[in-house]
Amino acid sequence: MSDFTIWGIGAGASAIVVVAAVVIYAWYSYLKARLPLAVYYKDLESRVSDLKAKFTDLVTEVGRRRQEVGNLLQEKMTLEAEIGDARAWLEKNQVLLEQLPIKRAEIAETEEKLRRVRQEWLQVQAQRLDEEEKAATARREVERAQTEIAELKTYRDRLADRVAALQQQQRQLEVQVGKLELDTKRAADQLERLRAELAREEKRLSAIQEESKRAKAEQRETELARDEASAKKDSLLREIALKERDLGRLQREHETLSKKVEHFEQMVRAPSKAERLEDFTKPVIAVRSNIQPLQATGDGGERARLEECTRYFERNKYKFHARTLSAFHTSLKTADISPLVVLAGISGTGKSQLPRLYAEALGIHFLNVAVQPRWDAPQDLFGFYNYMEHRYKATELARALRQMDARRALDAGEDKRVRDGMLLVLLDEMNLARVEYYFSELLSKLEMRTVAGTGDGQARHPAAIEIDAGSLGRDDQPERLFVGHNVLFAGTMNEDETTQALSDKVIDRSNVLRFGKPGQLRKDKPPSVSAPEYYLRYEDWKSWLRPDLPAGEADQFGRICDRLNAVLARIHRPFGHRVHQAMYRYAANYPRWAADWFHCAMADQFEQKVIPRLRGLSRDTDEKADEVLDEIGALINGLHDIALAGAFGAARERPSAFQWAGVNREAEQA
């Protein structure tokens, strides 16, 4: 077999593999675009199975190609041996020296063929990794679709049970009202008959008394008849009194049931949209009449506010590491791409106090929402529509978010200063329930705020939450709740056996700050300190936001991320555009007056975004684990964060799979 034939076979096989992969992906994309969403989810698993089968074929083809490359390498070794023999022969046979350039050209051609074959093999390897990533993405989409379908079925069944119970209760009340009306009518008729009989007996008694005057001879008989009539009269009066009491009782029952019927009739009468949403429009945030806006624009204003924040912590007998405050502050500034800040750790480490004191010190409205273990739907966050009362039962969070909507028309008497400011919402112990069940919809809407922009009407609908206000009239528009960028979200999370773990979806869209055990336990009770007499305007907050890094730091950021993602790709755990953009935005908004600010920002992102991806990595099952951990450790050492390097080293030395517990900055400070 000639060199050209070998090269042709290799090139043809490579072309076939590449074309097959392109055709498969194009066919997959065509089907995905053409099929309706319901059919797409239903058919997704079968297409993933087909892709796996085709991927197996590609792996087989790559194995065959590897065998061919091995054969070519063996042929190369043979040629190299022949070249050695030829050189020895040439030394002895100078006469054949003119043939040497020809042999060298043949050798160069063979080496070029080998280089091309090796390059094609690398391309096939890259395509294989890409197909694996696409298959994993498809599996995640199927799992998410199945979860959403199950949740919708459960919610539909609950609504059907509630409607059936209400209809049964209405039928029972109608039957009771009919019975009471019939009993009341019978009692009234009987009372009327007794009154008529009493009147007749009274007339008879009068006649007897008149007759006794005229016939004294018959006095004895008359007195007996009178006594008899009097006794009958007393008996009738007693019976009338009993019937009157029964009639009064029946009338009272009739009035009670009539009121209930009237109440249900009023409920059946569909109230106006404004009446149904009356509870939703009640304000929950108030500002004092003498409070004034805080003038704190630009870097100077931001630095002054954070320094005042530290002093406010100390006045309240709380002490947080400067890196912890900077990380929390910077995470809130990146809410457009990472809308949730999670404070995780053991109970009693000040996780709930940090957001509250931060909001008080900066003049930000604060709302604490205590998450309950029974929460399993968005209605637990925003409220629900009561079909018995035809009223929307809003939560404090829903009313507060409505107040903060800057594009909504002001209600009568509403204070514009409320929505000119900022709101920090704290989901306390957010993982007592499954976060995906009650927070997933809001998290998706928060992500779409930037896409929706700051427009009005239809432009905001994709990022707005629709409020269930019952059946709408012909001219009524659905009520929607839009959460603007002037609302920030944080959550606390206790990590123990009674709580739920966060999913990858929530972690990718969050900045997670971990709190270790306190370095020094405090025995005294924190004092009560008055909050500042000012509020932070959203316009001033926006002046603190920065979209980009300086040129030098931007280049350094790119080099670190490229190297980092290449390392993570070796264990099939690279990060995508979302995480890359979130890390860049975090570094750009980190306080630049801090010493070595860029390295501090990157160290925070390694702690929050990168190292958690290594969870479960085991040196026993992954041959590349040590190599990857060594390279990530080298990158961390280049950030000059001793505490982070120490925590990472301790985590990798554990005998079991890699587990990340975070960096205990408070213990470092103590």
CA neighbor of 345 nearest in space, from 517, 498, 520, 510: 517
Tens of pLDDT along 409-452?
777 667 788 888 999 999 999 989 998 889 988 988 888 887 65
40 pLDDT above the threshold of 60: no
- The residues, any chain, with a CB within 8 Å of residue 553's CB and separated by 6 or more, are 587, 598
Interval 248-261: pLDDT, tens: 777 787 777 777 66
CA distance 515 to 324: 9
The secondary structure of 480-542 as a DSSP string is: EEE--TTEEEEEEEE-STTSPPPPHHHHHTEEEEEE---SS---SPPP--PPPSEEE-HHHHH
pTM beyond cutoff 0.85? no
Instruction: With a cut of 70, say whether residue 291 has pLDDT above it.
Output: yes
What pLDDT score was predicted for residue 7? Answer: 56
* pLDDT at position 521 over 50: no
Q: What CA–CA distance (Å, rounded) separates 193 from 190? A: 5
pLDDT category at 396 given cuts 50, 70, 90 is: very high
- The length of the chain, given as a count of residues: 670
- pLDDT score of 466: 85
Q: What percent of the chain has pLDDT over 90?
A: 26
Retrieve residue 573's tokens: 């755990």
At residue 552, the pLDDT reads: 94
SS3 of 409-467: the string is: CCCCCCCHHHHHCCEEEEEECHHHCCHHHHHHHHHHHHHCHHHHCCCCHHHHHHHEEEE
- 8 Å CB contact between 38 and 152: no
pLDDT at residue 451 in the model: 67
* 301-325 exposure pattern, b = at least 16 Cβ within 10 A, e = fewer: bbbebbeebeebbeebeebbbebbb
Question: Which of these, 581, 438, 590, 434, lies nearest to 499 by C-alpha position?
Answer: 434
Per-residue pLDDT reduced to its tens digit, 230-284: 777 777 777 777 777 877 777 787 777 777 666 665 555 557 777 788 888 888 8
Pull the structure tokens for residue 616.
């479960």
* Type and span of the H or E element at 479: strand 479-482
Q: Which of 211-225, 428-442, 574-588, 607-621 has the lowest mean pLDDT?
A: 211-225
- List the structure tokens of 425: 């919402």
pLDDT tens column, 360-392: 999 999 999 999 999 989 999 999 988 888 888
- What crossing angle do the helices spanning 100-214 and 37-92 adopt, rounded to 10°? 160
- Give the whole-angstrom CA distance, residue 444 versus residue 451: 12
The answer to whether 483 and 445 are in contact (CB under 8 A) is yes
Phi, psi of 454 (to 5 degrees): -110, 20
Give the per-residue pLDDT at 267: 53
